[in-house]
Amino acid sequence: MFKNFKSVDKTAYGRGSFDKLGEILAPHRHEGNKYLIFFVDEYFEGNQAFEARIPMEAGDALEYISVKEEPTTELIDSLRDKYLAEKGMPSGVVGIGGGSVLDVAKAISLMFTNEGSSTLYQGLNLIKKPGLFACGVPTISGTGAEVSMTAVLTGPEKKLGLKCDWTVLDQIVLDPDLIASVPNNQWFYTGMDNYIHCVEAKTGQYKNTFSEAFGDKSLEMCRKVFLELDRKDPLSDEMMMVASYMGGLSLTYSEVGVCHALSYGLSKVLHYHHGIANCIAFNVLKDVYGEYVDEFKFIVNKHNVDIPSNLSANWSDETIDAMVEVAIKLEHMWRHAFGDNWPEVLDRARIKEWYKRM
């Protein structure tokens, strides 16, 4: 598998680096109508101490992003149209939040320069022009969105990313202090998103030595965070942040697998968030991921986290069938997990069976 992958152009890592954001953004304020839009997780709305640290200048815009639902093509299109009408072309965008907010920043930076609806560009290499300058500041770690070349969007037809070299952020600021106050459940689900995609990356045909080195180191740090360190230990946030960065890079030369395919169905049809949807799915995948599922359950137990189960009793056949249809279309994931002959071991009945176990 030959890939020539694009890296995030510049990376600032370290405690307190968030306070350097103004300095980092300064050289990027000169294009277009000379203003930046800050997309910020609504979790911070009204947190005056935090808001005061966002380096806004006269003319800049701040847009709180609801993360109740994952970002939709409609949200991206309407935000783009609103800003173009009201303030003209920005110089760039900054996302401050979790994977959803980073994906909003990545997607909208592209949609300012590519015409029409973002639904036109869901898929690989459909984008025609580079986007505006885009900076990401994760406030929760585990999604890998800070380094990935995907901005995942839910559209009327499908949940699928805008994916091309230009989707990759231009700048990331990784400040472990920012993830210290993440609520426990969210911290856990998102951290386990990283655990799960590292496992998927290494258990499929596309992995190589590059991918395994990043994924294995990420898993090692994940285990340290979840099984050894106290969450109050500053090293815990530092390791989680670096694990997420490395986990994202492990996917550069590999792919997600069965769990993500099922999880996309849960998110598209039942609106589960990505992190918890992955946990719900991974929890029933012992036949595919064996001892990793045992380890997952051990970690869940240790942290006393609630992974929703017995859900399918309340799902109609139509609901399950709808999720199966979402999942089965994700052929690149099945091909990675089961090889080129995946249709021989995978059919709608098997996918349905997994959903029924949830």
Q: Least CB distance from residue 106 to a second copy, whole Å?
A: 17
- Reading the block at residue 113, the tokens are 């320069």
- Residue 27 interacts with a second copy (CB under 8 A)? no
242 binds a second copy (CB under 8 A): yes
CA distance linking residue 106 with residue 322, whole number of Å:
28
The Cα–Cα gap between 178 and 79 comes to 26
Among 50, 64, 210, 315, binds a second copy (CB under 8 A): 210
Candidates 121-129, 170-178, 186-194, 259-267 — which segment interacts with a second copy by CB under 8 A?
A: 170-178
Residues 25 and 36 sit within 8 Å (Cβ to Cβ): yes
Any contact of residue 56 with a second copy (CB under 8 A)?
no
3-state SS assignment for residue 38: strand
CB of 306 closer than 8 Å to CB of 330: no
Q: Does 347 bind a second copy (CB under 8 A)?
A: no
CB nearer to a second copy: give 20 or 357: 20
Among positions 56, 62, 213, 322, the unique one binding a second copy when judged by CB under 8 A? 213
Q: Please list every residue from 251 through 280 that binds a second copy, using CB under 8 A.
A: 253
Rank residues 14 and 32 by Cβ distance to a second copy and give the closer one: 14
Closest distance between a second copy and the C-beta of residue 27, in Å? 11
**Chosen residue from 57, 165, 228, 233 binding a second copy by CB under 8 A:** 165
- In the list 13, 50, 315, 342, the residue contacting a second copy (rule: CB under 8 A) is 13
Task: Determine if 24 is a binding residue for a second copy (CB under 8 A).
Answer: yes
DSSP state of 345: T
Contact with a second copy (CB under 8 A) among 8, 111, 261, 288 = 8
In this structure, the number of other CB atoms found within 10 A of the CB of residue 143 comes to: 26
**Residue 39 near residue 108 (C-beta atoms within 8 A):** yes
Tokens of 265: 């169905």
CB atoms under 10 Å from CB of 247, counted, come to 31
Nearest Cα to Cα of residue 159 among 89, 228, 261, 59: 261
Residue 9 sits in the site that holds a second copy (CB under 8 A):
yes
Q: Is 238 in the site for a second copy (CB under 8 A)?
A: yes
Residues 112 and 57 sit within 8 Å (Cβ to Cβ):
no
Closest CA to 130 of 149, 102, 158: 149
The contact set with a second copy (CB under 8 A) reads 1-14, 16-17, 20, 24, 165, 171, 174, 176, 208-210, 213, 216-217, 221, 235, 238-239, 241-243, 245-246, 253
